[in-house]
Amino acid sequence: MRNLAILLLLTACADTNDDTLTTEYSDVSSFEAAAMILRDKCGPCHTTGHAGGLTFSESNDMLYDRLVGVQSFSMNCEGEMLVEAGNPENSILYSKLTEPTCGSIMPPRKDGLPLLTDFDKNVIKYWIETGARPQ
Ligand code: HEC
């Protein structure tokens, strides 16, 4: 039900506000939507060779292949799934936004960066929950 509310909210935004971030994707369960959030809000640290070996700055195709069905190889999270399609709770890409099962919450609190909004978190959760589709 909450997911439906998000969808409706997004549609409402898209109707009135042509230049907001939300208008760039029409489907909140899409990978485009999740990837946009990751690049905008997590990209500064997650560039090539940094932060747990995870890079968000590459093309959507490459990012998708790096995340979905792939296990972490980092010191903190080795063996945990980055994204398990259909299962956000078992995906550290999501659990690290809420209750990390390894390492720190993202973005790390000590850096003073704003955490994701509930909307952002739900976009990522919903994308994973609905099967982590490639588009
Ligand atoms: C201030 C820099 C910084 C920002 C911003 C940041 N991260 Fe991180 N991230 C790190 C560091 C450092 C690590 C490795 C330590 C750890 O896992 O706690 C990491 C690790 C991770 C990992 C685990 C990767 C692995 O294989 O172990 C995930 C998933 C992750 N970050 C997701 C995110 C997401 C999603 C965001 C945006 C909400 C984000 N990060 C924002 C610094 C950052």
Q: Report pLDDT digits (tens) over 60-92.
A: 999 999 999 999 999 999 999 999 999 999 999
DSSP class of 34: H
106 touches 98 (CB < 8 A): no
pLDDT at position 57 is: 85
Range of the domain at 120: 28-129
Query: Which ranges of the chain have pLDDT less than 70?
Result: 1-26, 49-50
Ligand 1 pocket by C-beta < 6 Å: which residues? 38, 41-42, 44-46, 51-54, 72, 74, 76-77, 82, 92-93, 96-97, 103-104, 106-108, 111, 113, 116
Q: Is residue 62 part of a domain?
A: yes
128 touches 85 (CB < 8 A): yes
pTM for the predicted model, two decimal places = 0.83
For ligand 1, the distance from its centroid to the CA atom of residue 100, given in whole angstroms, is 10
Q: Is residue 55 part of a domain?
A: yes
For ligand 1, the distance from its centroid to the CA atom of residue 15, given in whole angstroms, is 34
Q: Is residue 20 part of a domain?
A: no
- From 106, 111, 128, give the residue whose CB has the most ligand 1 atoms within 8 Å, as the site to mutate: 106
Residue nearest to atom 12 of ligand 1 (CA): 51
Q: Is residue 43 part of a domain?
A: yes
Q: Is residue 40 part of a domain?
A: yes
Residue nearest to atom 29 of ligand 1 (CA): 93
Total domains in the chain come to 1
Q: Is residue 77 part of a domain?
A: yes
pLDDT at position 25 is: 53
The SS3 call for residue 1 is coil
94-120 b/e with 16+ CB inside 10 Å = b? bbbbeeeebbeebbeeeeeeeebeeeb
Q: Is residue 14 part of a domain?
A: no
Q: Is residue 21 part of a domain?
A: no
pLDDT at position 26 is: 57
95 touches 89 (CB < 8 A): yes
Atom of ligand 1 minimally distant from the CA of 41: 37
pLDDT at position 112 is: 73
